[in-house]
């Protein structure tokens, strides 16, 4: 089968994982997007990056989007002779907004579309491949499916349940990143039964709050499993979360941080100097293939 002629565009959203108590399980797709333009060529690889990551990420076959595309081509048993890839990125890197998940899902969706492989690589298979590449499904699930997702792994099989969700979101992005590895390395090997029980109840409440009972969000976003431990890597972010919560704002650390996410509007006065504010909606679509411009 010949690759699709002409360029394709793929839009993929940022995502926030954990959402407070839903550690490694809950994720939310956000209305901040990376966009990929891909085109099959006769020979070779050309990569261009604009926006976030420009001048920092590699422009060869080690680029995460390219590696993800290659994984899809290998599974599909088909690849073009060459690829021209342009990444126009708006999702900040290293800030807990799912930039790597966006790159992985975007690359997989782009590769599938480029060789017309939708009938051979459905979304469930793509979720599995994305999870294998990312190492966990909590960000790749909302990046692929949109909305609010509950993601889990049975044995080695990734799965996700998508739910509709319409809540206001404000994110406060600090100027400096924190690596996921550093943030995860601060977590203890064990937690108390009381803390595990607390988070299980709050995670269940959070699903209800985000889908049907937003007045419960301040209680539903309480967490005892990860945010306090990670505060050493992001003291300013943790202090901002605590300050906002004292004022009744349901605020959390987004993913592994250091971005702070709040389910509210009209709270820009909380933003520390030098940070960037984004007012976002929940993205209901996930990764989509767009008409070529």
- Annotated binding-site residues for ATP read 92-102
φ, ψ (nearest 5 deg) of residue 116: 50, 50
- Other CB atoms closer than 10 Å to residue 2's CB: what's the count? 9
Tell me the binding residues. 92-102
What is the rounded CA–CA span in Å between residue 65 and residue 46? 12
Q: Where are the alpha helices (DSSP H) in the chain?
A: 64-76, 99-114, 123-134, 140-145, 180-185, 193-211, 217-220, 227-230, 235-246
Residue pair 263/30 in contact by the 8 Å Cβ criterion = no
What is the rounded CA–CA span in Å between residue 21 and residue 8? 38
- CA torsion, ordered 156, 157, 163, 166, to nearest 10 deg: 50
Both tokens of 219, joined, read 């209680």
What is the rounded CA–CA span in Å between residue 119 and residue 51? 33
Q: DSSP assignment, residue 268?
A: G
């Amino acid at each position: 089968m010949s690759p699709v002629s002409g360029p394709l565009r793929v839009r993929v959203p940022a995502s926030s994982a954990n959402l407070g108590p839903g550690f490694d399980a809950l994720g939310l797709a956000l209305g901040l997007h990376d966009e990929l333009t891909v085109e099959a060529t006769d020979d070779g690889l050309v990569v261009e990056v604009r926006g976030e990551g420009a001048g920092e990420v590699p422009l060869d076959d080690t680029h995460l989007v390219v590696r993800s595309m290659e994984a899809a081509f290998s599974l599909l048993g088909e690849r073009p002779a060459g690829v021209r890839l342009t990444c126009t990125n708006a999702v900040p890197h290293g800030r807990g907004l799912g930039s790597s998940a966006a790159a992985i899902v975007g690359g997989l969706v782009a590769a599938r579309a480029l060789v017309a492989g939708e009938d051979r690589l459905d979304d469930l298979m793509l979720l599995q491949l994305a999870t294998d590449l990312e190492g966990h499904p909590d960000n790749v699930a909302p990046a692929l499916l949109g909305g609010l997702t509950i993601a889990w792994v049975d044995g080695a099989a990734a799965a996700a349940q998508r739910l509709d969700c319409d809540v206001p979101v404000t994110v406060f992005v600090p100027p400096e990143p924190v690596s996921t590895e550093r943030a995860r390395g601060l977590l203890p090997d064990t937690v108390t039964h009381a803390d595990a029980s607390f988070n299980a109840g709050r995670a269940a409440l959070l699903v209800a709050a985000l889908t049907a009972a937003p007045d419960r969000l301040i209680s539903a976003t309480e967490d005892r499993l990860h945010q306090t431990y990670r505060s050493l890597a992001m003291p300013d972010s943790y202090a901002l979360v605590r300050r906002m919560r004292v004022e009744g704002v349901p605020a959390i650390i987004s993913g592994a941080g250091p971005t702070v996410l709040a389910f509210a509007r009209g709270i820009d006065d909380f933003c520390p100097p030098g940070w960037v504010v984004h007012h976002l909606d929940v993205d209901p679509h996930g990764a989509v293939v767009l008409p070529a411009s």
